[in-house]
C-alpha cells in the first residue's frame, strides 16, 4: 500500500486532488531548502511551483473550530458558552491536535527540510498540529465544508469525549512518570483490575504500580480515564509521603 493509500485509509477520505494533499503535507522548511536563491519563502514557492501548507492550515483551523464547536453543542445542549469555549480550546490545542495527528501517523507523510528532519520535526507537536489543520483545510477545498467537518469530528471524537468527561486537560500520567523516574528511577505500570457494566456503559477499575508496589486504584468510564485517576491518586499519596 502506498503512502497516499495509507493516509487516505487513516483519514477515511481520498483526495480528488493529489496536489492539494501534497501541499498540505509540505512544511515551509521543505520549500525554503529548495528555493535557496530566494529570500522570501512565498516568492520562492511561487517561482519554483512549490507551496507550503500554512495557508491551508489557516483554513483548517476554522474548519476544526466550527466542527468541534457544533459537536460540543450537540453533546451538551444545556452547556453555557463559557464551558463550550473551554472544552473546544482543549480539543483544538496544539497538544491535542498533535495527538490526533500521531494517531493517523501523519508525521510519516510530511515533507520536511533536512534541518527539520534531523532535529526530529516529524515528532514536533507544533509541526504535527499545523499539518493536521492543513490536511483538513485541503479536504475543505477538495470536497467542501461538510466532508471536512465529518473527517474532523471522526478523528477528534475521542478527544471530545475525554474533554467532556474532564479527562483531557489533566495529564496526571505524565506527571507521575516524571516523578517516578526522578525519585525512584522507575516507571509506572497500569493494570485493569476489573470492568463492569454493559458494553455501552462500562466502568473500568485500574491499579497503578511502581515496581511490585501498588500505589493506588481508581475507576473511570474508559481505561484511559481510569488510568488518569489512578495516577492522580498515586501522586497525592507520594506527596503525602514526602511531607
Q: Which residue has the cell 505500570?
A: 189
| Torsion angles phi and psi, residue 39, rounded to 5 | -85, -30
- On whether the CB atoms of residues 121 and 24 are closer than 8 A, the answer is no
Q: Alpha-carbon torsion 169, 165, 74, 197, what sign?
A: positive
Alpha carbons 106 and 151: distance in angstroms, whole number: 14
Active site residues: 61, 133
* Pick from 185, 165, 188: nearest CA to 235: 188
**Residue 219: strand, helix, or coil:** strand
Amino acid at each position: 500500500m502506498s503512502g497516499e493509500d495509507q493516509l487516505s485509509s487513516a483519514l477515511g477520505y481520498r483526495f480528488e486532488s493529489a496536489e492539494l494533499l501534497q501541499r498540505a503535507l509540505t512544511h515551509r522548511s521543505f520549500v525554503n531548502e529548495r528555493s535557496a536563491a530566494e529570500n522570501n519563502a512565498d516568492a520562492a514557492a511561487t517561482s519554483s511551483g512549490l507551496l507550503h501548507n500554512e495557508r491551508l492550515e489557516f483554513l483548517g483551523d476554522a474548519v476544526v473550530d466550527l466542527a468541534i464547536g457544533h459537536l460540543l453543542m450537540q453533546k451538551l445542549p444545556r452547556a453555557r458558552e463559557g464551558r463550550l469555549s473551554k472544552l473546544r480550546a482543549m480539543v483544538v490545542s496544539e497538544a491535542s491536535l498533535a495527538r490526533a495527528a500521531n494517531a493517523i501517523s501523519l508525521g510519516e507523510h510530511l515533507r520536511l527540510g533536512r534541518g527539520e528532519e534531523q532535529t526530529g520535526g516529524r515528532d514536533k507537536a507544533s509541526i504535527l498540529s499545523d499539518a493536521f489543520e492543513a490536511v483538513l483545510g485541503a479536504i475543505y477545498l477538495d470536497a467542501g465544508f461538510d466532508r471536512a467537518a465529518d473527517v474532523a469530528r471522526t478523528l477528534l471524537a475521542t478527544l471530545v469525549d475525554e474533554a467532556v468527561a474532564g479527562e483531557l486537560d489533566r495529564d496526571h500520567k505524565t506527571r507521575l512518570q516524571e516523578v517516578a523516574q526522578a525519585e525512584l528511577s522507575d516507571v509506572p505500570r497500569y493494570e485493569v483490575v476489573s470492568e463492569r457494566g454493559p458494553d455501552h456503559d462500562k466502568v473500568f477499575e485500574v491499579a497503578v504500580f511502581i515496581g511490585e508496589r501498588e500505589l493506588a486504584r481508581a475507576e473511570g468510564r474508559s481505561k484511559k480515564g481510569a488510568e488518569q485517576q489512578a495516577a492522580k491518586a498515586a501522586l497525592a499519596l507520594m506527596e503525602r509521603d514526602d511531607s
